[in-house]
């Protein structure tokens, strides 16, 4: 923000001294703002109430009246240039309007912009504001993504602040918390998904416990009692809720008594009871109750952003209620602090089957994510709800609240702005360094995981091959044993065959000797 911008956005000291926006009595008509003493760059009461810059409504109305004769004079669409009028007859002067660059382009012709020309910027009137209600992208992000990122960062801060409000005996030390998280692979993987911006993990209980910081709540919380709170009040509140079938309402009442003995409220918020019907973890509900009690109950910022959302999205409702005196900042404060509007929101969410979305929005984006839905319930009465979404520029509304409540001298001080810019630059560079370190650690973790998975795969393969080799070895050993037994039999037979062969050889020799003796005896007999 430059010095000139900060000076133009300097809030009215009268409005700042009260800490809220001025009373409706100071704004009787649009024309009164045009000549007021409020600087033109600062939104006054009417601009904050109706969502348009002050002093532009009359200008827009007069511009419409002044433009209508010109548009009528060019409605004939003549292609010929009008004749040159006589001099000194200014009342009858007609302007030569080229076909492609004049008002005829409003009939549908494309406007040709000269090269190296400045961009065409519309007037900041009522019509131009309505046409360009969606802000320009910043750093490549549209206002919706920027708003969601803002809500995520805001929820992280709210979670840390809620943790600080816990009693010391219920806090888990950071060392124990990180040891518990990092020792569980599921938590580590889920943290990696959260850091990458993914909140769709099917294990909702584990996801919500990490986002809400409920893991930082000590086990001593389970042994607490409800204290001296009125059980009847809690029981009546739970009975009004459209809880899922089979819900143990007595157990929910007991849990709410424990929760609000820490929160310090005498009655439960309906939204916490409904959330506990879907979230089994009492510690998660405790953290959500602490956050809601801090950022919603009695919060002027929440009420201001809600009022600005109603003004921007439902202007007809605002004008109707304003004319009848039924809408103002105190009335919005009463609506938010009462349970009726929250019961109405819960009933509409339940009828539309959006309870899961309600829980997801509250835990992931915080309770500021319900402002658009709450504005719809206030402005549309009994109309059914179709979705829970963030569609308003909540960042802009929070900046308006900051501008109204900040010191104008501080905003207009160039040294302060330069100091804040240096601080912002320092934190931006520090954040970039930490992101780089985190990315390095994440890459190392992913690499180690891949190596572990690879080693496990190789180990499984080798184990399988080892089992196969064992089975094959056993089969070969059985085969060898069979062959060895056959070898023994064959060896015995071979030994017997050798003996028989030897006996046969001896018999052949004996037969040969006997044959020789017989031949000798025959020869003797012949003689």
> Residue 76: its pLDDT value, please?
41
Which residues does residue 141 pair with via DSSP β-bridges, in sequence order? 138
Alpha carbons within 13 angstroms on the beta-carbon side of residue 375 total 27
Which residues does residue 138 pair with via DSSP β-bridges, in sequence order? 141
pTM given for the model: 0.54
Alpha-helical (H) ranges within 279-413 are 282-295, 300-313, 315-323, 329-337, 340-351, 355-364, 371-380, 394-405, 408-412
Q: How many residues does the chain have?
A: 527
| Per-residue pLDDT tens over the stretch 361-412 | 999 999 999 999 999 998 887 888 888 989 888 999 999 888 888 765 565 5
Token pair of 233, please? Answer: 């009040």
For residue 216, what pLDDT band results from cuts at 50, 70 and 90?
very high
> Residue 31: its pLDDT value, please?
34
Question: What is the distance between the alpha carbons of residues 329 and 137, in angstroms, rounded to a whole number?
Answer: 31
CA angle, 25 then 30 then 36, to 5°: 75
The radius of gyration of the chain from alpha carbons, rounded to an integer in Å, stands at 44
> Residue 25: its pLDDT value, please?
37
| Per-residue pLDDT tens over the stretch 37-85 | 333 333 333 333 333 333 433 443 343 343 333 333 333 444 455 555 5
Does residue 55 or residue 276 have the better pLDDT? 276
């Amino acid at each position: 923000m430059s010095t000139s911008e900060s000076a133009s956005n300097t809030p009215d000291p009268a409005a700042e001294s009260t800490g809220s926006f001025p009373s409706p009595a100071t704004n009787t008509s649009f024309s009164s703002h045009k000549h007021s003493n409020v600087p033109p760059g600062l939104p006054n009461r009417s601009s904050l109430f109706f969502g348009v810059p002050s002093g532009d409504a009359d200008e827009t109305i007069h511009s419409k009246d002044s433009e209508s004769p010109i548009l009528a004079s060019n409605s004939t669409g003549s292609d010929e240039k009008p004749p040159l009028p006589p001099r000194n007859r200014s009342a009858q002067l007609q302007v030569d309007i080229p076909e492609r660059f004049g008002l005829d382009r409003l009939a549908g012709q494309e406007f040709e912009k000269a090269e190296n020309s400045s961009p065409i910027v519309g007037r900041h009137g009522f019509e131009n504001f309505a046409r360009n209600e969606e802000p320009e992208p910043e750093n490549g992000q549209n206002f919706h993504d920027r708003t969601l990122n803002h809500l995520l960062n805001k929820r992280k801060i709210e979670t840390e602040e809620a943790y600080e409000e816990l009693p010391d005996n219920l806090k888990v030390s950071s060392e124990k918390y990180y040891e518990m998280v990092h020792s569980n692979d599921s938590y580590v993987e889920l943290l990696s998904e959260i850091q990458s911006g993914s909140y769709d993990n099917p294990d909702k209980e584990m996801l919500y416990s990490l986002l809400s910081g409920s893991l930082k709540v000590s086990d001593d919380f389970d042994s607490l009692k409800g204290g001296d709170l009125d059980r009847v009040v809690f029981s009546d509140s739970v009975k009004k809720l459209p809880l899922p079938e089979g819900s143990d309402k007595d157990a929910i009442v007991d849990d709410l008594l424990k929760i609000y003995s820490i929160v310090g409220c005498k009655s439960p918020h309906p939204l916490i009871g409904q959330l506990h019907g879907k979230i089994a973890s009492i510690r998660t509900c405790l953290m959500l109750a602490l956050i809601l009690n801090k950022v919603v109950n009695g919060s002027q910022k929440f009420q201001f952003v809600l009022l600005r959302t109603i003004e921007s999205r439902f202007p007809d409702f605002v004008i109707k209620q304003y004319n009848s005196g039924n809408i103002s900042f105190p009335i919005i404060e009463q609506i938010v602090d009462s349970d009726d509007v929250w019961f109405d929101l819960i009933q509409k969410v339940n009828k539309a089957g959006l309870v899961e979305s309600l829980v997801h929005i509250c835990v992931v984006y915080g309770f500021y994510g319900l402002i658009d839905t709450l504005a719809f319930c206030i402005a549309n009465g009994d109309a059914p709800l179709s979705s829970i979404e963030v569609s308003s520029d909540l960042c802009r509304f929070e900046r308006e609240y900051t501008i109204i409540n900040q010191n104008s001298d501080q905003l207009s001080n160039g040294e302060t702005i330069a100091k804040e810019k240096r601080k912002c630059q320092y934190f931006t560079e520090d954040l970039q360094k930490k992101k780089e370190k985190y990315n390095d650690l994440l890459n190392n973790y992913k690499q180690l995981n891949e190596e572990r998975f690879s080693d496990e795969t190789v180990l499984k393969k080798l184990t399988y091959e080892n089992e196969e080799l064992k089975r094959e070895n056993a089969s070969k050993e059985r085969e060898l044993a069979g062959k060895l037994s056959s070898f023994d039999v064959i060896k015995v037979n071979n030994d017997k065959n050798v003996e028989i062969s030897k006996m046969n050889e001896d018999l052949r020799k004996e037969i040969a000797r006997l044959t020789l003796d017989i031949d000798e005896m025959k020869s003797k007999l012949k003689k």
